[in-house]
Amino acid sequence: MPVYQVPSFVELGHRSFLYCFWKQAELISNFCSDVVTNGNSIKRDASGEDDLSAEIVRVELQGAAAYLYSRLVSLVLLLVEGSTPIDITEHGWEMLLIVKKAELESSASKFQLLGFAAVHHFYYYPESTRLRISQILVLPPYQGEGHGRLLLEAINSIAESENMYDVTIEDPSDYLQYVRSSI
């Protein structure tokens, strides 16, 4: 009969175990702040106060944004039925982040990630491009607050402003089809 060892996180205790996750969350938060700072702000939600309003930031999926996506892909796989990770090395991927600027007591401002969408630009014969939404995720604490609608509206405005042929959604869920039809 095999002898099982107690996992090391049990020996560390509850506080130390949670500290491991807190450090990881802080790392992701720092990458999110870097990506947002270097991205293009394309839309603000004016429905709330200025310091609480959501902002959509558009970034190419490379460098810090690619690292951020690689950290978020596990959430997509866990929360979106039938999802698969995208190949971030392929040309044409972008990510739209919906963020909220949060003031901290230390007078440093950080961005709180509310959700994101991964979109791909690809050629459409003869002289146009199409935009495909591959993944869209609003994190569970922020669902039902209209953030998914904001992401879809931002994607549609990108397609209109860049004169794209159309916007498609890769394997949409029933709820996403409902949200898309109500925009």
Mean pLDDT score across all residues of the chain: 77
Q: Is the pLDDT of residue 118 over 90?
A: yes
- Could you read off the pLDDT of 38-76 as tens digits, one per residue? 666 765 665 544 445 788 888 888 888 888 888 889 888
Residue 172 lies in a domain: yes
- Active site (annotated) includes residue 145: no
Residue 84 lies in a domain: yes
Most trustworthy range by pLDDT among 20-24, 56-60, 107-111: 56-60
Residue 32 lies in a domain: yes
Decide which of 31 and 6 is more confident. Answer: 31
pLDDT at residue 111, rounded to an integer? 76
Local confidence band at 3 (pLDDT 50, 70, 90 cut-offs): low
Signed CA dihedral, 60, 62, 67, 71: sign only: positive
Residue 2 lies in a domain: no
Q: What's the token pair of residue 112?
A: 């709180």
The full DSSP string for 134-155 is EEEEE-GGGTTSSHHHHHHHHH
pLDDT at residue 107, rounded to an integer? 44
Local confidence band at 116 (pLDDT 50, 70, 90 cut-offs): very high
Say which range, 42-56, 79-93, 99-113, has the weakest mean pLDDT: 42-56
Average pLDDT, stretch 160-171? 87
pLDDT at residue 71, rounded to an integer? 84
DSSP-derived secondary structure letter, 62:
S
Q: Is the pLDDT of residue 117 over 90?
A: yes
Domain interval for residue 75 = 8-181
pTM: 0.72
Average pLDDT, stretch 66-90? 87
How many distinct structural domains can be found in the chain? 1
Average pLDDT, stretch 129-134? 90
Q: Tell me whether residue 156 is exposed, middle or buried, using C-beta atoms within 10 angstroms of its C-beta: 0 to 12, 13 to 18, 19 or more.
A: middle
Residue 3 lies in a domain: no
Average pLDDT, stretch 148-154? 90
Residue 1 lies in a domain: no
Q: What's the token pair of residue 152?
A: 């879809």
Catalytic member of 60, 145, 153, 170: 170
Residue 59 sits in a domain whose CATH number is 3.40.630.30
